[in-house]
Structure formats: C-alpha cells, structure tokens
Structure 1
Amino acid sequence: MCLGIPMQIIAINGFNARCTAKGIERDVSLFMLQHEPIAIGDFVMVHVGYALQKMTPQEAQSTWELLDEMLVLEANFTPSRA
C-alpha cells in the first residue's frame, strides 16, 4: 500500500521544493508536476520525495484529519489472540 502525505510548499528552487507538514520539513521533487503552475503556499500530495498532485487546502486538511484518526485507532488497537 502506498501512502501520500499532504505537505505545503514553503520554498521553490527549479523542480525542487521545501515542504512542511506537522512541523516536519522535507525536500520534495516537483518534476512530476512540471506542467502545472506551482507556487509557495500550495499544497501537494507527497510520496517517497515526489509531489504527485496539487491539492486544495481543504483536501489537505481532510486528509490530515483522516490520517490523525488512523493514528489514534492504531495506538488503541489490541490484536485479538486466536
């Protein structure tokens, strides 16, 4: 299963961007989005260091809410013993 993380662009240098999410910063390649207008402040879905698609702020927020719910469920999960 692949997992993409919504991140916000805080700096752009050519096809590379510095992105942030939940206080973590990462360098992200914008190469796959080279035909789309990208600006500082935009949200992108990131997987293994590549921005795969632009997102609206609402899509990014909804995705983070879902990921946060998954983390809570995982933290409270107790496997059943067969």
Structure 2
Amino acid sequence: MCMAVPSRIVAIDGQTATVEAFGRERQTSLMLLDEEALVGDYVILGAGGNFAAEKVPQETALATLEYLSGVLADGLA
C-alpha cells in the first residue's frame, strides 16, 4: 500500500528541494510540479520519493499530518 505523506519544503537549490516530514529530511526533484514551489510549501512525493508530484494546501497538509500522527501513536501503544 502506498501512503501520501505531505512533506514541507525546507530548502530549495535549483530544481532540488530538501523536504521534511516527521523529523526526517530527504532530497526530491521539483521538475514535475506544474507550479512554482517555495520554501514552506507542502508537497506530496511520488516515484519512491524522488519527485514532488503535487503541491497541497497548508491546511490540508497539516490536517493530514495530525491525523497520521494519531494513527502512528495508536499503533505504537
């Protein structure tokens, strides 16, 4: 099963972004996005995390991250 976890852009260098989710950072390409991405934007990663597939509104991203945090906490209890 594939789960789309919103990741926040914390740095951009050309077409490569450093994104963060749940305290983990990774590098991803911004080449596939239809619109400009800025530091602070949230994206969904595709292709094994190698590419940002789409931007998501901050409100949606934060609600999703809060929900996933609860699911993870329940699973660890």
Aligned ranges 1:17-36 → 2 under 5 Å: 17-33=17-33, 35-36=34-35
1:73/1:23 CA distance change after superposition, 3 Å? closer
Aligned match of 2:66: 65
Compare CA radii of gyration and give the structure with the larger one. Answer: 1
Query: What whole-Å deviation, never above 9, does each CA across 1:46-65 have from its counterpart, x for those lacking one?
Result: 24222111011111111111
How far residue 69 of structure 1 moved from its aligned partner, in angstroms, is: 2.2
Identity of aligned residues (%): 36
Structure 1 unaligned blocks of 5 or more: 77-82
Deviation at 1:70, TM superposition (A): 1.8
Give the whole-Å Cα distance in 2 for the aligned partners of 1:31 and 1:37: 10
TM-score by length of 2: 0.80
Partner of 1:43: 42
| Unmatched tracts of structure 2, length 5 or more | none
CA-to-aligned-CA distance 1:23-70 (integer Å, 9 cap, x gap): 21110111220x311111111112422211101111111111121122
Cα distance between partner residues in 2 of 1:20 and 1:75: 22
TM-score by length of 1: 0.76
The Cα RMSD (Å) is: 1.6
Alignment length, in residue pairs? 75
Residue 5 of structure 1 corresponds to 5
Counterpart of 1:80?
A: none
